[in-house]
Each structure stands twice: as C-alpha cells, then as structure tokens.
Amino acid sequence: MPAAGRPIAFVPEGVATRGARWYLPGMSKDVGEAEFDAEVIERSHEVPVMVDFWAPWCGPCRMLSPVLEKLEAEDGGRFELVKINTDDNQRLAMQHGIQGIPAVKLYAGGKVVGEFVGAMPGATIRRFLDEHLPSAADEAVAEGQRRLAAGDRKGAMASLQAALQADEGHAGAHLALARLALEDGDADAVERHVDAIHPAAKEHEAGEFLRKALVFRRECEAAGGAEAVAQRLAADEGDLDAWYAQGCCHAVAQRWEPALESFLEVVMRKRKHRDGAAHQAMLVVFGLLGHHHDLTDAYQRKLQIYT
C-alpha cells in the first residue's frame, strides 16, 4: 500500500496487473524539481515532451513505462520522454495536480497540451499521440513558415507543397499558399486554395479574408495603378474614388497603415460612398492583420467614430 500522502496508483478497469512484467527504471531521462523548467518547459518549445509521473511502489506505473519507452523509440524524435518520481519530487507532483499515478502530461510550447491517468494500452496512447503531436504535414508547414521568415520563398513553397503531398486537405498549407498567391496576384490560385479549406477549420475565416482581398488588386489596376491614382489626387483631393483606389494600391503592396488612412479618408468624407466600399475594405485589412494587431486596434477605434 502507498504511504499516506502519496498519489493513488490507478489502473483502468479491464487492464490486468497479475503477471505483468516489472519495469526497472533507468532507460529514460529522470527529471527532478531542479531540472524541470529546463528539461520540460524550455525543451518543449523545441520538441514535445511527455512527462511520466510515477513511483517505484506503483504497479501500473511499471506496466506503463515500457510502453512509453517503446513508443518514444518508434517515433524517432517526434517527442521526448522524461520520468518524474513522485516520491522524490512530492512538491513538484503537488504543483502539477498529480492525485493518481501513473499520470502522463504532454508539453508543447511550454504548456500542457494533453494528459491522461492510468496504465493505458499502447494503441490508446498511440491515438493520444496522433491527436496531440504535429503530423508530418504540420511539420512541413512549420518548416515552410520558418523558411518564409528567413526570406527563402522558394524553399517555403517546396515545404508547403510537401505538406499537401502528405495531407492534401491540410488547412494550414492551403492558407499559407493562398497568402503567397495573393502576393503574386494569382487570383485563381487564391480561390483554389481557399476553396480547399474546410469550413470547420480554424483557418477558414482567414482564408475568406484573403479571397475578399482580391478586390484590392482589381481596383488598383482598374484605376491605372498607384502612380495614376496619385496624379488624380494631386489634381483633386476631393476625388473619393481616387482615395479608395489609393488605399487598394497600398494594400496590394502590404503598406497597411497608408491603406487604412486612405480608406478612412473616404469614410470620413462620405461613409456610404460606393455602398460603403471603403468601410468594408478596412474590415478586410483588419482580418488580414488579425484581431490583435496594433493597427487593427488603432483603426477600429477611429472607424467607430464615423460609423
């Protein structure tokens, strides 16, 4: 029996313990309170870390440990496994709400993204991992984003296409490719990639904003381009169509603040000009920038004054 104050050893109904092969710890990394932040929290920003809370007296823990070790070996670096002896690290166990063991917590990006308690079968844990760990397509998209941030557009495209080869419906890959297509002025590709994003995906709303942003290039080109629009405004500062077209030209070049200023000028002078096109354009820019962007916050407040 566990001593008073120790977590309860938990094994789900239907999982046999009699005759189980006892597991001798030592194959995986043992972590204590002093190493926890570095080995779990900080490390999980680089690779997901699975933490196995266990104790030597706990039979179900000894059943689970070799299963976790086997999965770690099979996954080849997809995640790292560490073990925490709750007898030796009681304060750490309390801090993380451990009441029954074995308890497993999966960390990614410095926080818990999944957990379970009990000696689960390998197939169940495999489903748990597949649900919470990045897929091959997820990793390809992340690599594409890293390459894009480094200025390697060609490499980013290759990674994003590789993601679609692994998962043809991957919403993140389609969204990223739609963004690149918008920059290239390839309206057909934007439509194709946005159409491929499932309506239930979290990327769906962002994709629809990209589709709506196609109007910026059309309006800028219809007005003769940025130089022609600037000449019109120099001749007549009251030309609201030119102000709107200038905002569109700025948006095409991703000059977001000048774009918002131009659209706001139209709203201030005549809010319903062209059925409120400038107002709608500002909403599209907000969607492209994201709800938490500084420009979104600032210009939403300005827009509220005139609407």
pLDDT per residue rounded down to tens, the chain (307 residues): 355 455 655 544 444 333 333 333 334 689 999 999 999 999 998 889 999 999 999 999 999 999 999 999 887 778 999 999 999 999 999 999 999 999 999 999 899 999 999 999 999 999 999 888 888 898 899 999 999 999 999 999 999 999 999 999 999 999 999 999 999 999 999 999 999 999 999 999 999 999 999 999 999 999 999 999 999 999 999 999 999 999 999 999 999 999 999 999 999 999 999 999 999 999 999 999 998 999 999 999 999 998 7
d(CA 73, CA 66): 10
Domain count, the chain: 3
Domain of 192, in residue numbers = 136-212
The answer to whether residue 2 is domain-embedded is: no
- Rounded CA-CA distance 25/4 in Å is 23
pLDDT at 18: 33
Q: What are the φ/ψ torsions at residue 180 (nearest 5 degrees)?
A: -65, -40
**Measured distance between the N- and C-terminal CA atoms of the chain, rounded to whole angstroms:** 70
Residue 169 and residue 166: Cα distance in Å, rounded?
9
| 244 in the same domain as 157 | no
Note the Cα 186 to chain centre separation in Å: 25
Q: Please say if 58 is a catalytic residue.
A: yes
User: Which residue, of 193, 212, 231, is where some domain finishes?
Assistant: 212
- Residue 206: CATH number of its domain: 1.25.40.10
Same domain, 108 and 29: yes
CB 75 within 8 Å of CB 126: no
Closest by alpha carbon to 15, among 126, 122, 128, 127? 122
Q: Give CA separation, 302 vs 63, 245, 261, in Å.
A: 62, 20, 10
- The active-site residue, picked from 61, 220, 248, 249, is 61
Q: Identify whether 186 is part of a domain.
A: yes
Residue 241 lies in a domain: yes
Check: CB of residue 79 under 8 Å from CB of residue 48.
yes
What pLDDT score was predicted for residue 263? 98
Whether 141 maps to a domain, the answer reads: yes
pLDDT the model gives residue 135: 83
pLDDT of 20 reads 35
Q: What angle do CA 208, 218, 224 make, to 5 degrees?
A: 155
Of the residues 58, 220, 248, 249, only one is catalytic, namely: 58
> Which pLDDT does position 46 carry in this prediction?
86
Boundary (domain end) residue, out of 157, 190, 212 = 212
User: Is the same domain home to 15 and 127?
Assistant: yes
- Our answer to whether residue 248 is catalytic in this structure is no
Task: Please give the pLDDT value at position 134.
Answer: 83
Using CA atoms, how far apart are residues 69 and 79, in angstroms rounded to an integer?
11
Residue at 257 is within a domain? yes
